[in-house]
Amino acid sequence: MINHIKIERSKNDLTQQDLADRVGVSRQTINAIEKNKFNPSTLLALKIAKVFSVSVNDIFFLEQDD
């Protein structure tokens, strides 16, 4: 799965720490998600989408191999 979290953070002028604080995780978790090293739970994906006022499908995308 790939994601556009970094793009959305940039559009909303948020740091990884800002986003982490808003969704209740560590900055390292946000970093790992952005680098595609960790797939978030459904609940976390929904929280992230809510911060950006977009749908989960606007941020997270399945790759062909998924």
User: Could you read off the pLDDT of 3-26 as tens digits, one per residue?
Assistant: 999 999 999 999 999 999 999 999
Question: Could you tell me the fold of the domain covering 2-54?
Answer: 434 Repressor (Amino-terminal Domain) (1.10.260)
pLDDT given for residue 63 in this prediction: 85
The pLDDT tens digits for 37-58 are: 999 999 999 999 999 999 999 9
Contact 56, 3 (CB under 8 A): no
Tokens linked to 19: 């986003």
- Given a cut of 90, whether residue 36 has pLDDT beyond it is yes
DSSP string, 3-36: E-HHHHHHHTT--HHHHHHHHTS-HHHHHHHHTT
**pTM of the complete model:** 0.92
